[in-house]
Structure 1
């Protein structure tokens, strides 16, 4: 047991210490505000405050974890070996930065509560983030800090045992449009056909008729290929389907059709199935509840995973709804048009509601990005960008999460790189 002394145990202190010490390093920790108890403890211990109590392991604290509310604070960024640090401290502590205040700033998404310029859909742009402006978006800095912290702890307390952490890969596939031609409805099918004829896409017209007549498989129906690639490996897959209203007329389709419902039932027998929350209804808790109930009726199990259509993270309203509806995990905490670590970590973390100053049970999954952000690059550039992040996460033994679309695996020349990455590079084979 690792004892931590703080003069004031705030919700912020509890939240970030448990992420760094317990979730990342695997330590069993105990807090104390009792000085006598701390001084009498002869095992591994540390103090966190303005000045050390004696010769113990000490980290000097920034004020951020001992205040309430949201203010526009200065966040100095400095280089720290192969990474960076924020909130530098004087030399009296064992660490040159307050990694706990820095971790809280990034994990709580403190900067997203501050006034900022939004994009056309009301999203927080990556260009506004501290990580982008100081060129560390590509690093899971909180995990890198935790590794440095763990090494110095073991130097101070050789008897302190830390469990071995294992690298994980978790692929996510968005299937908002599970079919290209099937189940589009008469009106949409006619509009699509007329559009193809007008643009003289004769091959696509023939393909449409072959699929609708049952002589050819729908090109977006890649689900058997996905499931077959999971055999004999340790990687995890989560499939996301939409049951509500699509963002646009083109994306909307009839979710009541039996073929679609059977697809969800079939895939849920093999992998985790999640729900894409409709963009137009994100602030309507009753609608979210209705869609959640529909998915649970199809899969016959509690819904554990959601993400917001168009990657709309509207803090804190949508997450509060998910907490009230007892959804376990959200997969929206990434930038739709830029790869990187939006919250600075590659370890799943809890949503902290800054307005209410409370840690919630909702787990936010640290997805690094989606294929759409790279769709217009060369195959070699795409592989290089994805694998650079993969190796960075592997180095700190975190969880690498990347979001694909089922359309990425359509057997075509353009999609060869995505099929290769999913089936060859992002699969951890059984030993």
Structure 2
């Protein structure tokens, strides 16, 4: 009996796995997202569906015999700031006694190529210390579009260097892309024209997502995997899984041909915009989630924005890398996990 049939045989598990409650919801937040506080599934700390799948034949394996994996990702929302913002950040760094950071902001006013958020090389160097690689998802917007901040052509050389060194370049879909296949394809082609390589990975800006429609559109647009599916306002396991999975469309009664690598932890969820935990409480929660994923031999997806790579945010990020490295996790990009999962992971029934 296939694992998908076993899931369907358990109504509560099936409801959670497919997220039936997100089909045609009565209420959404200001970004048309289904938020955690509207869900009837309140325990996000336990990967209930993954536990069931492990008990019923899922047998994940990872490269070099590692027990679990970390899907390491960065959304590149911002590269440059205006004169006023740079001056403000420079002054703020001086007040905090971070003179090195202050000089970086001050110098960026004169040389836009040295802006602190144009930090792809630094990100790779930090991760390389822990034997890690990651995915960097770039917006492919044009002037006048909402949240436009940079032209891809301006950073073409850096995008090429990212790919050449073994990190992944993926697409960070714009505000209007999650429910618009024409926009998805347009942005995908633009990023591919700049990178010179096929783009297989996707995450939408602001985690905007419509269940199950976004998965269907991504599959038709030619993506191999998505990693948008997580709550912006709370860390944890949105549909009870800590393993990549092929979504099931309840409207068509068919599996969708795309791999979802669900998002579990985002920097802004923990420390900034939503849960607003202090450093210690945020670490306790993060450690609990990592330990739970290790227990079920799963994949934990981490989203850390490129403009969260300084101060306590950088300290927290390195703490994650160190902890997972000491646990001998496979720490890599979404593309690597996607390719490995599709080739090597099967249920045993």
2:77/2:149 contact within 8 Å kept: no
Question: Are 2:127 and 1:230 aligned?
Answer: yes
Quickly say closer, same or farther: Cα 1:122–1:245, change in 2 above 3 A. Answer: farther
Select the structure that is richer in strand: 1
In our comparison, the structure showing a higher alpha carbon Rg is 1
Give, in whole Å, the separation in 2 of the partners of 1:339 and 1:331. 14
Shift of the alpha carbon at 1:291? Answer: 0.9
Tell me: CA distance 1:248–1:396, structure 2 relative to 1, closer, same or farther (3 Å). same
| Structure 2: segments with no counterpart, 5+ residues | 95-100, 331-349
After superposition, what is the alpha-carbon deviation per residue over 1:233-265, rounded to whole angstroms, capped at 9, x for unaligned? Answer: 56451111111259986x42231443x222222
What TM-score results when the alignment is normalised by the length of structure 1? 0.64
Count of residue pairs the alignment pairs up: 314
Change (3 A) 1:272 1:216: closer
- CA contact 1:305–1:329 (8 Å) conserved in 2: yes
Q: Give the Cα separation in 2 of the matches to 1:345 and 1:430.
A: 18
Using the size of structure 2 for normalisation, the TM-score is 0.78
Give the match's secondary structure for 2:304. strand
Please give the residue correspondences for 1:370-389 in structure 2 after superposition, counting only pairs within 5 Å: 370-375=266-271, 376-389=276-289
Q: Using a 3 Å threshold, how does the CA distance of structure 1 residues 145 and 317 change in structure 2: closer, same or farther?
A: closer
Kindly indicate whether the alpha-carbon contact (under 8 Å) linking 1:329 and 1:364 is maintained by their aligned counterparts in 2.
yes
Name the residue aligned to 2:70. Answer: 169
Cα distance change on mapping 1:348 and 1:201 into 2, 3 Å: closer
> Using the alignment, how far apart are the partners of 2:24 and 2:183 within structure 1?
28
**Closer, same or farther: CA 211–378 of 1 in aligned 2, 3 Å:** same
1:144 counterpart = 2:51: yes
Distance 1:164 1:416 in 2: 30
Q: How does 1:260-339 map to 2 (within 5 A)?
A: 260-269=155-164, 270-339=166-235
Q: Which runs of 4+ in 1 moved over 4 A?
A: 162-165, 190-193, 199-209, 232-236, 245-249, 428-431
Partner of 1:242: 139
8 Å Cα contact 2:156/2:195 also seen in 1? no
SS of structure 2 residue aligned to 1:426:
helix
1:341 alignment partner, one of 231, 237, 246: 237
CA distances 1:152-193 after superposition (whole Å, capped 9, x unpaired): xxxxxxxxxx6767311111111111x244xxxxxxx35647
Q: Distance in 1 between matches of 2:31 and 2:112?
A: 40
1:426 to 324, 331, 336: 324
Query: Is this contact kept in 2: 1:167–1:397, CA < 8 A?
Result: yes
1:371-400 CA-partner distances (Å, limit 9, x unpaired): 101113221111111110000110111111
Superposition CA RMSD, Å: 3.3
**Richer in helix (by share):** 2
